[in-house]
Amino acid sequence: METSVLMSAAELNQLKKAAPMEGVLPVFHERWSPRSFANREVSTELLKKVFEAARWAASSFNEQPWRFLVGQRPDETYKKIFEALNEFNRKWAWRAPVLILGTTKTRFSRDGRDNRVALFDLGAASSYLTLEAAALGLATHQMEGLDTEKVRVSLGIPPDYIMGSTIALGYLGEPAALEDEKLIQREIAPRTRKALGEIALGAWDQPAEI
């Protein structure tokens, strides 16, 4: 606990930054997923910017199938999203002033065909959102643990939309504020990534020559 108590939010943010690589935009190395959020609201102006970034994500046939339900504490949308989170996520997500539920339409509007890349398109828009948030000095954390049927009913989500991740958004908080040793240790743990040769392949299980 001692290390986490002494570590400030600013120090933790520096610790989590990945080593830069020339030619790669710094925001890709600066974005990470905290669980501790400061008791500070996010302005409407900044929220507009993160969703404007998401709006310009690429999508199949320019369908733009994503719809984001935006809960701002203490409104009803926030409460309904929060109540649908699993127990583990509720332990920390209540600290975030904004909860965003990503959904996506599973059929093309133009002809009713199944859109097999709908979740991919939602993921692209969500990535744009989180990267813009990082560029603006905001923190985000995407989570999977959600009772999708409960939130579908409570928020009136149509049956042809499926849920992606829920995104907690706000300003980075102090790690010790989590008040749970396991959560704190996760918060201050070093970031890790698979080697490039594991994800960029020239043939299956063979690294690409890059």
Three-state DSSP at 148 gives: helix
Split into its structural domains, the chain has a count of 1
For residue 90, report the phi and psi dihedrals to the nearest 5 degrees.
Answer: -65, -25
pLDDT score recorded for residue 6:
72
* 67: number of Cβ within 10 Å: 15
* 198: number of Cβ within 10 Å: 10
Three-state DSSP at 103 gives: strand
- Taking the C-alpha atoms of residue 17 and residue 32, their distance in angstroms, rounded to an integer, is 8
- Taking the C-alpha atoms of residue 177 and residue 38, their distance in angstroms, rounded to an integer, is 9
pLDDT 10s digit of each residue in the chain, 210 long? Answer: 444 457 899 999 999 999 999 999 999 999 999 999 999 999 999 999 999 999 999 999 999 999 999 999 999 999 999 999 999 999 999 999 999 999 999 999 999 999 999 999 999 999 999 999 999 999 999 999 999 999 999 999 999 999 999 999 999 999 999 999 999 999 999 999 999 999 999 999 999 999
Q: Across 109-160, where does the E strand assignment appear?
A: 139-143
CATH code, domain carrying 97: 3.40.109.10
Query: Virtual CA dihedral for 31, 35, 40, 45, nearest 10 degrees?
Result: 40
Type of residue at 38: A
Q: Does the global pTM surpass 0.85?
A: yes
pLDDT score recorded for residue 38:
97
pLDDT tens figures, 153-165:
999 999 999 999 9
Tell me which residue range forms the domain holding 9: 2-207
The neighbouring-strand residues paired with 142 are 167
pLDDT score recorded for residue 118:
98
Which residues, in sequence order, are CB contacts of 186 under 8 Å at separation 6+?
A: 35
Secondary element (H or E) of residue 72: strand 66-72
Assess whether the previous peptide bond of 74 is cis (omega < 30° from 0): yes
Secondary element (H or E) of residue 130: helix 118-135
Taking all residues of the chain, what is their mean pLDDT, rounded to a whole number?
A: 95
